[in-house]
Amino acid sequence: QKEVEQDPGPLSVPEGAIVSLNCTYSNSAFQYFMWYRQYSRKGPELLMYTYSSGNKEDGRFTAQVDKSSKYISLFIRDSQPSDSATYLCAMTPMNYGGSQGNLIFGKGTKLSVKP
CA distance 66 to 111: 23
3 near another protein, judged by CB under 8 A: no
Closer to another protein at the Cβ: 23 or 113?
Answer: 23
Site string for another protein, 31-70 (x = CB under 8 A): -x-x-x----xxxxxx--x---------------------
Binding to another protein by residue 89, rule CB under 8 A?
A: no
Number of residues that bind another protein (CB under 8 A): 25
Task: Give the 3-state secondary structure of 32-73.
Answer: EEEEEEECCCCCCEEEEEEECCEEEEECCEEEEEECCCCEEE
As a whole number of angstroms, the distance between CA 39 and CA 24 comes to 23
Q: Does 105 bind another protein (CB under 8 A)?
A: yes
